[in-house]
Amino acid sequence: MIRRAGPGDMETVFDIRASVFIEEQGVPHDIERDGRDGEALHLIAFSEEQAVGTARILISEGVGKIGRVAVLQSHRGTGLGKGLILAALTALREEGAHTAKLGAQTHAIGFYEALGFTARGPEFLDADIPHREMVQGL
């Protein structure tokens, strides 16, 4: 099950992100927690009532930025990442966005292409991890 996260879910959302980004990938805490969570829409994914994934959506001028997509290592390969992206695209449409974009870690480009995203622009570093911008019209 995937749903919008409420205020009572945020500690769990941050715990999932810390596990994936800070502990696994070595992203500094101050980069992972960038101060934009209060203005974002958050999604939370569950497996058997346990929160195991999350994504964040920021919308500006009709463009929705999907970010902080994280699934706990124990639940990768189960389809939850795909479900989070599809739920994020649905939420963006419901909020009136006309374009979705994200910064994909380069190892995940194929995953996002399979979901209809197109890579755009050069590779760039975010928290010293190679990324590419990806876009999709809604």
- Calculate the CA dihedral of residues 21, 30, 69, 122 and round it to 10 degrees: -100
pTM beyond 0.75, yes or no: yes
Say which CATH topology domain 2-137 has. Aminopeptidase (3.40.630)
The 10s digit of each residue's pLDDT in 49-101 is: 999 999 999 999 999 999 999 999 999 999 999 999 999 999 999 999 999 99
Find how far residue 31's CA is from the centre of its chain. 15
* Sign of the torsion formed by the C-alpha atoms of 74, 80, 85 and 91: negative
First to last CA, the chain: 23
